[in-house]
Amino acid sequence: MNDTDQADITDYNDPNAPWNQAWDQEGGIAGWNDDVITEFRENSGRVGGAYAGGDLILLTTTGARSGKRHTTPLGPLYRDDTLYVSSFIEDKYPAWWHNIKANQQVTVEYGDKTHHATGRVLEGAEYAEFAAWVLANNPLLADFQSKVDRPIPLVVLTLDS
């Protein structure tokens, strides 16, 4: 990540942020994610490059239309003991968000552990309360929200016991 620690990133437009890294692989971001997923699984959740030194999970959802399994690397976020995820995709909600709306059963890989989990897309009053907390406590998501017209996606993940 260009010698910058992820904790040093406080602005959504920071060129060192993982979401602002260029990818030149065939297949665009999907090809880039494939390499991150492979590295994650080969190294018990540790990866280099744009995500070096940061926490990462792999979220596997079932496609809302295709029914196929899709895995996406995401940075885990926490509100006390509540695990949640969001996204910096500017022009639409991410595919994993749509997939969870259609099928809440997901798989979460963290480190060398794999968990069955339930994903819940927050909506209505619950979304409003949670989003207010997120925007007050997560400067990067607050900065991103100030630059886009749609509400940020928020999904709570509950790991099965």
pLDDT digits (tens, 9 = 90+) for 84-126: 999 988 888 999 999 999 999 999 999 999 999 999 999 999 9
- In this structure, is residue 1 part of a structural domain? no
**Residue 3: predicted pLDDT:** 41
- In this structure, is residue 80 part of a structural domain? yes
Domain span at residue 11? 6-159
Q: Looking at residue 79, which CATH number applies to its domain?
A: 2.30.110.10
Number of domains in the chain: 1
Pairing of strands 155-159, 113-121: antiparallel
Which residues are registered as beta bridge partners of 57? 74, 110
- In this structure, is residue 98 part of a structural domain? yes
**Residue 2: predicted pLDDT:** 37
Dihedral sign for Cα 42, 96, 113, 77, please. positive
- In this structure, is residue 119 part of a structural domain? yes
Kindly list the averaged pLDDT for each block of 10 residues, start to end, along the chain of length 161.
49 60 53 86 91 91 95 95 92 94 98 97 97 95 93 97 76
- In this structure, is residue 99 part of a structural domain? yes
- In this structure, is residue 12 part of a structural domain? yes
**Residue 91: predicted pLDDT:** 85
- In this structure, is residue 58 part of a structural domain? yes
CA pair distance 16, 50, nearest whole angstrom: 8
Q: Which one-letter DSSP state was computed for residue 146?
A: T
- In this structure, is residue 10 part of a structural domain? yes
**Residue 89: predicted pLDDT:** 85
Q: Are the beta carbons of 82 and 156 closer than 8 angstroms?
A: yes
**Residue 90: predicted pLDDT:** 80
Nearest to 108 by CA among 119, 99, 97: 119
Global confidence as pTM? 0.82
